[in-house]
Structure 1
Amino acid sequence: MASSKPSSYVMLLLSITLLLQVLAPATANPPEKRPSCEKSDREMRFMFSQWMSKYAKSYSCPEEKEKRYQVWRTNTDFIGGFRSQTDLSSGVGAFAPQTFTDSFVGMNRFGDLNIDEFVQQFTGFNATAAFQAHPPPITPLSPHSWRPCCVDWRSSGAVTGIKNQGACASCWAFAAAAAIEGLHKIKTGELVSVSEQVMVDCDTGSFGCAGGHSDTALSLVASRGGVASEEKYPYTGAKGACDVGKLLFDHSASVSGFAAVPPNDEGQLALAVARQPVTVYIDVSAQEFQFYKGGIYRGPCSSSRVNHAVTIVGYCENFGGEKYWIAKNSWSNDWGDQGYIYLPKDVWWPQGACGLATSPFYPTV
């Protein structure tokens, strides 16, 4: 009986030793914790549902919703990575558009689209559409013409609010409309929102919601002497039958012709913009452009392959040493800097940033 106590004591020690050996690896190598900044799938799905509610998104079936969630999550990761790089490289933070540093990005209504889908649905310059048989004359302006260091037609009340072309590839019509609106305000003192729909429906040189050209839209309006207002010929986001009566007679803004800025010449483009808003074509085939939120957009983009039309409504050459163009877009004020984008001015290649100097046009009266 006396020998059983030491034996029990030894067995207890052995049991404790074995238990410690089993627990030791777990203690020495605890499982890695998920970084606090990385959200779980559950959290991400909740954020996605909030994003869907904000933009009134719905999908035809669970499979499509899952597909769009995965695209949205990839885009969210891209935006987060871009912001991290911007914070580290610039030192000024990614949330300071007033500094006019390099551009930064943020989530918007295009979050469930990959870049190819985005370009296909929301651009609209169609290089295959028929060009004008009689293109407008290239009209150089005198280098001695009035050209201030900064112009912003918004401050002169010559720019209507940001519009939304929707999933109709009609940017070409919106760019032309903005240029006509600006000229009409400058000449008459009256700001009128003109109809993009009449151009979508009636411009036979373009393909409606399949894309087109701002110059054919300007040619159509000039040939009829003017254009109806948005109120009288509202936008539907789909190509319809041309209302010939409104095309021919119901005009709220007059246009007698249009002209082309000498291509690949930012100096000439500035002279034209000093007089009025001007349509241009640019390349927007990058995620950085899809989710642009502010600052000066320096790319990536191509200067030789353009796919989207915007309207240059100003420029500046002395703001903190930066030179930039102010471009009005047609993707609602949720995109970009309240619907606008700032592009570098006077770059070293002749086509301009993202190709903006390749084919500028403006209406005349």
Structure 2
Amino acid sequence: MASSKPLLLGLLLFITCLLQVLLAAANTQPPPPPPSCDKSDKELRFMFSQWMAKYAKHYSCPEEQEKRYQVWKGNTNFIGAFRSQTQLSSGVGAFAPQTITDSVVGMNRFGDLTSTEFVQQFTGFNASGFHSPPPTPISPHSWQPCCVDWRSSGAVTGVKFQGNCASCWAFASAAAIEGLHKIKTGELVSLSEQVMVDCDTGSFGCSGGHSDTALNLVASRGGITSEEKYPYTGVQGSCDVGKLLFDHSASVSGFAAVPPNDERQLALAVARQPVTVYIDASAQEFQFYKGGVYKGPCNPGSVNHAVTIVGYCENFGGEKYWIAKNSWSNDWGEQGYVYLAKDVWWPQGTCGLATSPFYPTV
């Protein structure tokens, strides 16, 4: 019995050593790699470099580029999350679409901007000193077709780009005058937004302005010169008085205000000609709008941007929508346009489009 104890102790010692050797061998094996985001980040950075090249983006220093990459990455994630929650469908197509789905989003030239930066740089309605003039009602018995699209009549010029000058109010006004001039004379002429930016003392140049004062400026001078003769620069310059007073390519005698918060009156006006409206363009969903009928989110009581309504459609059994020409290039939205839900239950209309519409007169 006593002789078995050393044998038993030796066996235990051998087993202990063997376990230590096995544990040591196990510890020398590299641990399995943790889930890595390096590949995903590399892919995103490559996509960002492609996006920079597409829009000729250049940043002042590596730190600024990294900051813009992080903003772009956040916007990319937002777009992906939006799409995952929304049933995707095909785009609405150009010119008088017959079937339109709910809105979709996609990356565009504004991908490196936060929502706040975007609104500051690319909207432009300045409420300072704004007083809507008395409205001019249109007879409710006037003829109103179910669908209107002034593009199909050749009364709308190509989509333009205001740049980061807050001059949407001038672009909306020019588009409305261009449409009226084509309807009345048969001639489509691209008109000068720059003359309004430089010469409208009722507005604030690249710090924002009002479509009604721009229309009033043109009316008081009897007309407006062409884009070719007074090209857009994207900065406020000195007013060229000679081109303001003379050398007109289109003439208007005045302007009228549509009765506010009345989509029926707005439709009657748009059935006659393109009309300027103010909307709220603050939402991230609007910043990256790519197509479909936009129903929000937005604050109809806080408008900050001007667009031109160039049509509408009230297809029986389908979506009702307004066709709005924007001034953010044809890369944004549906080839530069946004389709806004029509005849909503709140009086201001989608994003406040019915609050203060205007149109030129001859």
Write out per-residue CA displacement over residues 23-78 of structure 1, whole angstroms, 9 at most, x where no aligned residue. Answer: 9996xxx666569xx95222211111111110001011111111111111111111
Matches within 5 A, 1:1-365: 18=23, 33=35, 40-86=40-86, 90=87, 93-97=88-92, 99-128=99-128, 130-131=129-130, 136-318=133-315, 321-365=318-362
Q: 1:52, 1:58 within 8 Å by CA — same for their partners in 2? A: yes
SS of 2:340's equivalent in the other structure is: strand
Q: 1:95, 1:104 within 8 Å by CA — same for their partners in 2? A: no
Instruction: Give 1:127 deviation, angstroms.
Output: 0.5
- What CA distance in whole angstroms lies between the structure 1 residues aligned with 2:201 and 2:359? 20
Counterpart in 1 of 2:96?
A: none
SS of 1:314's equivalent in the other structure is: strand
- What CA distance in whole angstroms lies between the structure 2 residues aligned with 1:285 and 1:39? 34
Instruction: Give 1:97 deviation, angstroms.
Output: 3.5
Instruction: Give 1:213 deviation, angstroms.
Output: 0.2
- What CA distance in whole angstroms lies between the structure 2 residues aligned with 1:141 and 1:95? 37
Q: 2:178, 2:191 within 8 Å by CA — same for their partners in 1? A: yes
1:23–1:321 distance in 2 versus 1, CA, 3 Å = farther
Q: 1:123, 1:307 within 8 Å by CA — same for their partners in 2? A: yes
- What CA distance in whole angstroms lies between the structure 2 residues aligned with 1:10 and 1:164? 80
Write out per-residue CA displacement over residues 169-217 of structure 1, whole angstroms, 9 at most, x where no aligned residue. Answer: 0000000000000000000000000000000000000000000000000
For normalisation by structure 2, the TM-score amounts to 0.90
Write out per-residue CA displacement over residues 94-144 of structure 1, whole angstroms, 9 at most, x where no aligned residue. Answer: 54435511111111000110000000000000001x336xx6441111111
Q: 2:197, 2:236 within 8 Å by CA — same for their partners in 1? A: yes
Q: 2:302, 2:352 within 8 Å by CA — same for their partners in 1? A: yes
- What CA distance in whole angstroms lies between the structure 2 residues aligned with 1:354 and 1:97? 20
RMSD in angstroms over aligned alpha carbons?
2.4
Letter in 2 for 1:120: Q
For normalisation by structure 1, the TM-score amounts to 0.89
Letter in 2 for 1:97: V
Give unpaired runs (5+ residues) of structure 1: none
- What CA distance in whole angstroms lies between the structure 2 residues aligned with 1:62 and 1:32? 29
Write out per-residue CA displacement over residues 304-346 of structure 1, whole angstroms, 9 at most, x where no aligned residue. Answer: 0000000000000006511000000000000000000000000
SS of 1:97's equivalent in the other structure is: coil
Q: 2:124, 2:207 within 8 Å by CA — same for their partners in 1? A: yes
Q: 2:89, 2:101 within 8 Å by CA — same for their partners in 1? A: no
Letter in 1 for 2:130: F
- What CA distance in whole angstroms lies between the structure 1 residues aligned with 2:185 and 2:210? 26
Instruction: Give 1:256 deviation, angstroms.
Output: 0.3
Letter in 1 for 2:184: K
- What CA distance in whole angstroms lies between the structure 2 residues aligned with 1:81 and 1:184? 44
- What CA distance in whole angstroms lies between the structure 2 residues aligned with 1:251 and 1:96? 39
Letter in 2 for 1:269: L
Letter in 1 for 2:108: N
Deviates more, 1:317-326 or 1:169-178: 317-326
- What CA distance in whole angstroms lies between the structure 1 residues aligned with 2:183 and 2:341? 26
Q: 1:131, 1:216 within 8 Å by CA — same for their partners in 2? A: no
Write out per-residue CA displacement over residues 252-293 of structure 1, whole angstroms, 9 at most, x where no aligned residue. Answer: 000000000000000000000000000000001111000000
- What CA distance in whole angstroms lies between the structure 1 residues aligned with 2:188 and 2:143? 23
- What CA distance in whole angstroms lies between the structure 2 residues aligned with 1:295 and 1:16? 68
Moved over 3 A (4+): 9-26, 30-35, 94-99
Write out per-residue CA displacement over residues 206-248 of structure 1, whole angstroms, 9 at most, x where no aligned residue. Answer: 0000000000000000001100000011000000000001000
Give unpaired runs (5+ residues) of structure 2: 1-6, 94-98
Q: 1:83, 1:94 within 8 Å by CA — same for their partners in 2? A: no
- What CA distance in whole angstroms lies between the structure 2 residues aligned with 1:221 and 1:124? 19
SS of 2:323's equivalent in the other structure is: strand
